[in-house]
Amino acid sequence: MEKKRKFILIIAVVGMIGTFLPWASAFGFTVSGTHSDGWITLVLFAIGGAIAFFNGEKTEAIAKKVMMGVWIPAAIAAIVALINVFKLSHGVSAGFGLWLVVLAGIAQVMVSLFFKGEGGWDLPKSVADVKEAANIPSVGKQEAAPAAPVAPVAPAAPAAPAAPVEPAPEAAPEAAPKAVTEEPKTEE
């Protein structure tokens, strides 16, 4: 079996086992995950384990698009478990199984996205690396659609000939009216 598949399968089994272990304890009593949201996490880890075990050839890596079916349920399982941690009342402590489910969910996401089998870990250096690993399309970097073919343009029709314009006869310059200036009157 391919190395990454093994890790995914082992983590899924650990997460499923965490469902049956104590999720909360108080006054010497414990409650397992099956008394609350543990059934949800059990199913979510089973999905990832089933994909790792039954999908494709066991000696080959799981396809990138199929890998979304492993890490998304694991992330949801970790979130469900964390919600249960924060819902605990005062005086009630989180049990070992609840923390195991949280850690298994986070580990499943990390292994699914960043472990490259025999190549080791390929940790992201930027948000773009995480989007690529998770197979999330980038919103800002969309490829431009190919331009539509341009239809040939017919040549424009020649302009109509203009009618000859005769020059206007020259007019004699008119005498400009003389400005009348009045001298100020002085009182004597």
The 10s digit of each residue's pLDDT in 59-90 is 888 888 888 899 999 999 999 999 988 988 88
- Confidence at residue 180, expressed as pLDDT on a 0 to 100 scale: 58
Residues 6 or more apart whose CB falls under 8 angstroms from that of 5 comprise: 52, 53, 58, 61, 62
Which range, of 2-6, 84-88, 107-111, 152-156, averages the lowest pLDDT?
152-156
Confidence of residue 2 (pLDDT cuts 50, 70, 90): confident
Percent of the chain scored above 90 by pLDDT? 30
Contacts 24+ apart (CB under 8 A), 85-89: 88/24
- Confidence at residue 147, expressed as pLDDT on a 0 to 100 scale: 65
Q: What does the angle CA 103 – CA 55 – CA 17 come to, to the nearest 5 degrees?
A: 30
Residue spans per domain, the chain? 3-133
- On the question of pLDDT at 186 being above 60, the answer is yes
- Confidence at residue 160, expressed as pLDDT on a 0 to 100 scale: 72
pTM: 0.65
CATH of domain 3-133: 1.20.140
- Confidence at residue 72, expressed as pLDDT on a 0 to 100 scale: 93
pLDDT in tens, 124-174: 777 887 788 777 776 655 555 666 666 677 777 777 777 777 766 666 556
Top-confidence residue, 22 or 59: 22
In angstroms, the CA 147 to CA 152 distance is: 15
Top-confidence residue, 158 or 20: 20
